[in-house]
Amino acid sequence: NKRIAILISGGGSNMVSLAESMVGDHPARPVLVLSNDTEAGGLAKASAMGIATAAIDHKPFGDDRAGFEALLKTELENADADLICLAGFMRILTAEFISRWEGRMLNIHPSLLPKYKGLNTHARALRAGDKMAGCSVHEVTAALDDGPILGQAQVPILPGDTADTLAARVLPMEHRLYPAVLRRFAAGDRTPVYLKS
């Protein structure tokens, strides 16, 4: 059984869907939910689910990403984590940290990668006049929102969509996609998962 640390920065709805999926014969279980924001709503949700939580405020570290990551490393070691799932974790990690977790760290990103790496993905898809939007789960490599794609889910873009209405259509697909990918990945299967709404 793989021990999963889930890193969040906000409400943690993807964290909840991952944690709820790790039951029964699932090849993984959640051992830690960690946030860089001490106020993240997801921390209370994780506690309520009986999962250990930790918060490391990044702000006192300023530009010292390595200093922040030293504490992160300690928490991950204390939890004896095997895999990391980034789930709405809004801090950029250093190449050095990422290399230590190579092949053992996943991320979910709200676009059909390789389109729209970075922020404001839905607004950018709308502005480009795209017909489809969606989300991707990928292995984390040193380049931002890059790395081998392990799954994608598509939704249509509809007339009158705003970034908010589109996000509300994509998020439920994130909640299906990430658990589906993690189940395979934790069992050693990197075959991509493709979903449509």
C-beta closer to ligand GAR: residue 15 or 79: 15
Q: Can you tell me whether residue 100 is helix, strand or coil? A: helix
Which positions from 155 through 184 interact with ligand GAR, judged by CB under 6 A? 171, 174
End-to-end C-alpha distance for the chain, whole angstroms: 31
Report the 10 Å Cβ neighbour count for 158: 10
Active site residue ranges = 109
**Alpha-carbon span 124 to 128, nearest angstrom:** 6
Residue nearest to ligand GAR (CB): 88
Q: Which residues pair with 33 in a beta bridge?
A: 6, 53
C-beta closer to ligand GAR: residue 42 or 179: 42
Locus of tokens 């006049």: 129
Determine the interface stretch with ligand GAR among 6-14, 28-36, 48-56, 182-190 (rule: CB under 6 A). 6-14
Which positions from 80 through 119 interact with ligand GAR, judged by CB under 6 A? 87-88, 108-110
Binding-site size for ligand GAR (CB under 6 A) equals 15
Which positions from 123 through 152 interact with ligand GAR, judged by CB under 6 A? 135
For 11, what's the count of Cα atoms within 13 Å in the CB-facing half-sphere? Answer: 4
The continuous run of DSSP H or E covering 143 comes out as none
Instruction: Count each helix (H run) and each strand (E run) in the chain, helices first.
Output: 6, 8
Binding residues for (6R)-10-formyltetrahydrofolate, by number, are: 65, 90-93, 107
Binding residues, by number, are: 12-14, 65, 90-93, 107
Residues that bind ligand GAR (CB under 6 A): 8, 10-14, 42, 87-88, 108-110, 135, 171, 174
